[in-house]
Amino acid sequence: MTPKDVLADLARIKAVPVIRASKLEHATCAALWLAEAGMSVVEMTLTTPNVFEGIAELRKRPGLIVGAGTILSAQDARLAIAAGSQFLVTPCWVDGVVELAKAANIAVFVGAATPSEILRAHMAGASAVKVFPAASLGGPAFLKQVRTVFPDTSFMPTGGITVDTAADYLAAGALCIGLGGELAPARALEAGDRAAVIDKTRKLLARLSPPATIAV
């Protein structure tokens, strides 16, 4: 998938689940439960042990877009690309990552918390800017304000977003949103609570895709 393809799909899906787990099997289960609930994209974080194995395995699942998050070095990016990641996500500016993503022709979301950081990421060629940590920075109001001076930049706010606030970020102009423990909390993964993950994910999808109005 090209960066343009990924952006188009994320704009349609509207949300990216960020999976962070203490064990690879927990992270893989979470990804499969999310897919079962109707979510067709996952971001697997590099803080999860043996995550590259998980990314490679999940890439075998038809229709699932798999990305790698918490990229903290160029080497992280190389390994994620080799595992088959279709997009990369950093929490901040990381030297070399944008260049590697461009060379591999995959999307890259660069983390930023200030207008200066947003401009740097955009000018470097980031596919979109990950506003992080979004809730702590001011939430939808912050996003709405920065979009007035960066109208040509795509944003994926992440950090502290909940099912209840998700739609507010889209209304403020987000391309899509990132949610971590809100959809797949550690306690649910450790307990094998498939129902809790599926239920919360379906609630989110319902909030983001309200029923269409029927003309009469």
User: Which of 14, 43, 182, 200 is an active site residue?
Assistant: 43
Which entry of 14, 23, 130, 190 is annotated as an active-site residue? 130
Q: Determine the residue type at 29.
A: C
Helix (H, G, I), strand (E, B) or coil at 155: strand
Q: Is 144 a catalytic residue?
A: no
State the pLDDT at residue 180.
Answer: 86
Is 43 marked active-site? Answer: yes
Cβ neighbours, 10 Å, residue 4: 11
State the chain's maximal CA–CA distance in angstroms. 57
Q: Give the C-alpha separation, 17 to 54, whole Å.
A: 15
Q: How far apart are CA 101 and CA 109, in angstroms?
A: 10
Instruction: Give the tens place of pLDDT for each residue, 101-112.
Output: 999 999 999 999
CATH fold, domain 3-208, is TIM Barrel (3.20.20)
pLDDT digits (tens, 9 = 90+) for 112-151: 999 999 999 999 999 999 999 999 999 999 999 999 999 9
- Determine the Cα angle at 92 with ends 144 and 131, to 5°: 15
Contact, 28 vs 84, CB < 8 A? no
